[in-house]
Amino acid sequence: MIAPHRLAPPENSCLVVVGGCGGIGRALVRLALANSLRVAVIDLPDVIRTFPPPAEVLSFAADATCEEAVRQAFVQIGDAWGVVDGLVNLAGFLTTFETVEHMDYTDWRYVYEGSLLTTLFPCKHALPLLRKSKRTAAIVNMTTGIAYIGRPRYGPYAAAKAAIVSLTKTLAAENAPKIRVNAVAPGAVDTPFLSGGTAHGGIQGEKARRINVEEYLKSVPMGYLATPDDVAEPILFLLSDAARYITGQVLHINGGALMV
């Protein structure tokens, strides 16, 4: 009988987490270390100072909307490791909560680029290191169910996350079979994002500003708000060899609130 693959990457695999100091990012880093992975985090300087990763994690302070900053971070990761086995892109935010009709273009561009380029640039500059992996490397991007259904006042965020779905499928087609590329699409998760975002004044446990949690939970068959681990654990699975035949897909993690 052939032993099954474990539901996480092999020990000592090299994992880069963009946005690794946010709510889901911290959970993913913790689980990755518990599974004996080598971890590097790319996040904003202020966020790294507020939520410093464990000592064994490589930390790179960079604004991921700046391509040169991202490129430099991966140069340093290449110098340290020589290879990347997995990349997870978690960055994204919504600061302006307004209808398309009334939203200023500057605000639209800020949210759109902050939620799209922060995935595009890490994917682009990680690819050469991912190709050096001795196994099938993997990328997991972050999108949202809102990209599929639309929701008032989420315009630039939803548009950026819809673009990430397309980007994920394009990268999967371009880089198979050496690199698998998938995405996760969580519903509401109990993180600072609900009250502004880790880098934009959101506080864990603060009342959600964008949704009425009690009303939202009426649409969730599982009956509770997702925890960061509810998202981090499926991400680890998608990075693992147990998911070796999965690429170009979006895994919806929403307790049944959206069934597609």
pLDDT grade for 1, boundaries at 50, 70 and 90:
low
Specify the CATH number for the domain of residue 93: 3.40.50.720
Could you tell me if 41 and 20 are in contact, meaning their C-beta atoms sit under 8 angstroms apart?
A: yes
Strand partners, 134: none
> Does residue 230 belong to any structural domain of this protein?
yes
> Does residue 50 belong to any structural domain of this protein?
yes
> Does residue 177 belong to any structural domain of this protein?
yes
pLDDT grade for 192, boundaries at 50, 70 and 90:
confident
Total domain count for the chain? 1
Interval 93-150: pLDDT, tens: 888 889 999 999 999 999 999 999 999 999 999 999 999 999 999 999 999 999 999 8
What is the predicted pLDDT for the residue at 199? Answer: 52
- Write a three-state SS string for 187-228: CCECCHHHHCCCCCCCCCCCCCCCCCHHHHHCCCCCCCCECH
What is the predicted pLDDT for the residue at 86? Answer: 98
> Does residue 221 belong to any structural domain of this protein?
yes
Could you tell me if 132 and 174 are in contact, meaning their C-beta atoms sit under 8 angstroms apart?
A: no
What is the predicted pLDDT for the residue at 203? Answer: 54
**Of 81, 92, 164, 235, which is closest to residue 172 (Cα–Cα)?**
164
Q: What is the mean pLDDT of residues 185-206?
A: 70
Q: What is the mean pLDDT of residues 193-219?
A: 69
Interval 158-175: pLDDT, tens: 999 999 999 999 999 999
> Does residue 128 belong to any structural domain of this protein?
yes
> Does residue 1 belong to any structural domain of this protein?
no
Interval 11-66: pLDDT, tens: 999 999 999 999 999 999 999 999 999 999 999 999 999 999 999 999 999 999 99
What is the predicted pLDDT for the residue at 258? Answer: 92
Residue 3 has pLDDT above 80, yes or no: no
The catalytically annotated residue of 154, 157, 224, 245 is 157
pLDDT grade for 200, boundaries at 50, 70 and 90:
very low
Q: In which domain, by residue range, is 146 found?
A: 14-253
Residue 206 has pLDDT above 90, yes or no: no
Output phi, psi for 137, to 5 deg: -75, 165
pLDDT grade for 6, boundaries at 50, 70 and 90:
confident
pTM of model > 0.85: yes
Q: What is the mean pLDDT of residues 183-208?
A: 71
Please report which residue ranges of 51-154 form alpha helices under DSSP H: 67-81, 105-130, 146-149
**What are the residues whose beta carbons fall under 8 Å from the beta carbon of 187, sequence distance 6 or more?**
144, 145, 220, 226, 252, 253, 254, 255, 257, 258
> Does residue 9 belong to any structural domain of this protein?
no
**Rounded-to-integer distance, Cα 138 and Cα 141, Å:** 10
**What are the residues whose beta carbons fall under 8 Å from the beta carbon of 184, sequence distance 6 or more?**
140, 141, 142, 143, 231, 234, 235, 238, 250, 251, 252, 253
Is 112 among the catalytic positions?
no
Tokens 């009426």 -> residue: 218
Residue 198 has pLDDT above 80, yes or no: no
Q: What is the mean pLDDT of residues 208-218?
A: 83
What is the predicted pLDDT for the residue at 193? Answer: 75
pLDDT grade for 2, boundaries at 50, 70 and 90:
low
Residue 211 has pLDDT above 90, yes or no: no
> Does residue 23 belong to any structural domain of this protein?
yes
What is the predicted pLDDT for the residue at 179? Answer: 98
**Rounded-to-integer distance, Cα 72 and Cα 74, Å:** 5
